[in-house]
Amino acid sequence: MKRFTLTVAAMVLAAGSLLGADVDLTHAKCPVGGDHAIAAVAVDYKGAKVYFCCAGCDATFNADPAKFAVEANHQLFVTGQATQTASPMSGKAVSADYSLEMAGAKVLFASAAERDGVANSDEDQQLQSVFNEDVFDKAFRVGQ
């Protein structure tokens, strides 16, 4: 019985580590609780995975994903599951000359004016401006 329990525990740990094997969770925060996200608790979202700090948060997220969309979209970007394809403000081509670091994510813009318009906001407003559903779907792509 002890051997069976140890085997099951090892399988659970291995499965948990495989879930996030291709994803860098260094800057990933739970979209519900705000704590550091872990690989063992995740749900499918937009063809990728969103990670949580604990088992209760995944159920809260699944009950109303739209409520946590900004945080979930940000997490997709900081974990490398989403790539930026255009400026979040204008949809134009981006330039590395106009970047802004926000909550572990380096976001590019088409002009200094776009970047500065976002930079002059507090962090919550920055995230809302760049990772809300409408902007995210136009300026980022999930998957390869």
HEC profile for 75-108?
A: HHHHCCCEEECCCCCCCCCCEEEEEEEECCEEEE
Position 12 in a domain: no
Q: What is the pLDDT of residue 21?
A: 52
Position 121 in a domain: yes
Q: pLDDT digit of tens for each residue in the chain (144 aa)?
A: 545 433 333 333 334 434 445 799 999 999 999 999 999 999 999 999 999 999 999 999 999 999 999 999 999 999 999 999 999 999 999 999 999 999 999 999 999 999 999 999 999 999 999 999 999 999 999 986
Distances (CA, A) of 122 to 54, 113, 127: 28, 17, 9
Total domain count for the chain?
1
Q: What is the pLDDT of residue 22?
A: 78
Position 39 in a domain: no
Structure tokens at 127: 């995230």
Position 61 in a domain: no
Position 102 in a domain: yes
